[in-house]
Each structure stands twice: as C-alpha cells, then as structure tokens.
Structure 1
Amino acid sequence: MNTKSLLSGLFVGSTIVGAITLLTTPTSGKDLRTSCKESARKVQKGFEQLAKDSQTASIQLKTTAKVGKETFVTVGEEVKDSINDWKKDVEPALNQLKNDIEALQKNVEQSRKAID
C-alpha cells in the first residue's frame, strides 16, 4: 500500500469527520475550539507515530533482507561443500561397483562361451 495514499486518505477522512462534528455539535464555541485543538493534536501525534512506525518497519525490512541474503549465500555454499564431500565419499564405492560389474560381465561371457 502506498504510504502517501494512506496518509491522504486519513487526512481527508479526518477533515470530513471534523466538519460534520462542527456542524452537528451542540457545544459552545469555546468548548468546540478546545475540543478541535485536542483532536488536532491527537491526529498530529497519530501521524508522527505512523511515521516513526514506518521508519522502524523499513529498517527492520532492510535488516531482514540483508540477513536473509547472507544466510542463503552461506547455506548455498555449505550445500555445495556437502555435495562435493558426498561425491568424494561415494566415488571409491562407485568405482568398486563398476569394477565388480565388469568382472561379472566377463564371468557371464566366459560362462556363455563355455556352454556354447
């Protein structure tokens, strides 16, 4: 959501509510002015708090993105290293299997020749 649109909507809504309140309130002018000033202060404090919260959220989002990126890089490197280690561990067994299969094929061929 666009922050500018949100703030504009809040301002327009507050203005409309304020105008309706002014037109329908049964209080005296002095009380009404005091009430309006208090409401304006509350709205201003709300906007200030919204700005602070937005800044905090932005900082947290940037920090989270940075940490996430670093984590993905680290995990990627660790997975790559693990795969390479696994390949090194499995390679002798694969070579032995290939040798065993070749020996078995030679035995089968010799057995066929002997039978024929």
Structure 2
Amino acid sequence: MKASTFFIGLAAGSVAAAVTVLYSTPQSGSQLRTSVKSASRDMKVMFKDVKVKVDDLKESISHLSKEAKETVPTAIDGIKGSVEKWQQSTESNKERMEKEISAIQTALEELEQAIAAQQK
C-alpha cells in the first residue's frame, strides 16, 4: 500500500465522518458551533493550567536540586565528622577491652595449667 493511497483514504474517511456527525447531531449548526467554541475555550483554559502547573513543578525541582547540592555535602561532612569522633571516643574503650580479653585468656591458660597439674 502506498502512503498517498493511505492518506487519501484517511481524508475521505474524515470527511465522511464529519458529514455523518453533522447530519446525525441533535443540535442545530449554530448550537453545535457554540458548543465547539465553548469546549475549545475550556480546553485552552485547561492547557494553560497544565502549563502553569508544569512550570511550577520545574521550578520546584530546580529549587530542590539546588538545595540538595548545598545541603547534602554539608550533611555528609557532618556525618563523617561524627563517625570520626565516635571512633576516637571508642578507641580507648577498644584498647581497654582488648587488654581485658588478653588478661582473661592468660588467666584461662593459667587455670588450665593448674588443673592439669592437680590431676597428675
């Protein structure tokens, strides 16, 4: 099928549909034109509202992006600083616990040796 044949068929079908709608509509021509104009105005108003809302959304996304670029690095630096402080504050506890664990292991070894010596 050629493209020109398709478009001729599409145009003929559109004309036939338009004629059918005009003859089968319960409204007179002037009433139909009035309702079409009214619907057209309503659609224009709706499209303007959608455009305004899309523009607002774009602006909100832009503002959020700028705010995130400023806020996120600061928050990350703050978190890193907090983690470093926590690691430093727990370092002494870590060393103390390692010494206590070592002392407990030594005591257990000595206890095992003492028990082994008594059983002989």
Using the alignment, how far apart are the partners of 1:72 and 1:23 within structure 2? Answer: 65
Flag the 1:23–1:61 CA change in 2: closer, same or farther, 3 A: farther
Unaligned runs of 5+ in 2: 1-17
Work out the CA distance in 2 between the residues paired with 1:54 and 1:74.
30
Instruction: Name 2:66's counterpart in structure 1.
Output: 66
Mean CA deviation greater in 35-44 or 65-74: 65-74
Q: Which amino acid aligns with 2:29?
A: G
Q: Structure 1 residues 67 and 22, CA, compared in 2 at 3 Å: closer, same or farther?
A: farther
CA distance 1:86–1:30, change in 2 (3 Å): same
- AA at the equivalent of 2:92: P
Aligned to 2:42: 42
37 and 91 in structure 1: CA distance in 2 versus 1, 3 angstrom threshold: same
* Aligned match of 1:54: 54
Change (3 A) 1:107 1:23: same
- Within-5 A mapping of 1:2-41: 22=22, 24-41=24-41
Deviation (angstroms), 1:50: 1.2
Aligned residues: 97
One-letter amino acid matched to 1:31:
Q
What code does the residue aligned with 1:25 have? T
Q: Which runs of 5+ in 1 are unaligned?
A: 1-18
Using the size of structure 2 for normalisation, the TM-score is 0.58
Q: Percent identity?
A: 27
Pair member with larger Rg? 2
Which one has more relative contact order, counting CA pairs under 8 Å at least 6 apart? 1
- How big is the shift at 1:93? 2.1
User: Superposition RMSD on alpha carbons, in Å?
Assistant: 3.0
* CA 1:21–1:104: 2 relative to 1, 3 Å: same
> How far apart are the structure 1 equivalents of 2:72 and 2:100?
41
Shift in CA distance, 55/22, structure 1 to aligned 2, threshold 3 Å: farther
Going from structure 1 to structure 2, the CA distance change for 1:86 and 1:52 (only over 3 Å counts) comes to same
